[in-house]
Amino acid sequence: MNTDDPELPDILRRSWHRFADTYEPLRGELFRYCRHLTRSPWDAEDLAQDAMARAFA
């Protein structure tokens, strides 16, 4: 997401930064856990993205 877009509302921009600040430190550990569950890097990436999308929603 390009957060520099002037059309992006401030609340969405702040929300995205908060999400990124929370998600980034957890990304590696979450991916490793999902990889352990799925035994596939592609499925693990999908699972991790789905989990974070649900957490953010």
The pLDDT score that the predictor gives to residue 1 is 54
Domain around 30 = 24-57
In a domain, 56, yes or no: yes
Q: Which residues of the chain have pLDDT under 70?
A: 1-8, 11-13
In a domain, 8, yes or no: no
In a domain, 41, yes or no: yes
The pLDDT score that the predictor gives to residue 5 is 64
Q: How many domains does the chain have?
A: 1
The pLDDT score that the predictor gives to residue 39 is 98
In a domain, 48, yes or no: yes
Segment 31-35 long-range contacts (CB within 8 Å, at least 24 positions apart) = none
This prediction has a pTM of 0.66
In a domain, 42, yes or no: yes
In a domain, 9, yes or no: no
In a domain, 54, yes or no: yes
The pLDDT score that the predictor gives to residue 12 is 66
The pLDDT score that the predictor gives to residue 43 is 98
In a domain, 3, yes or no: no
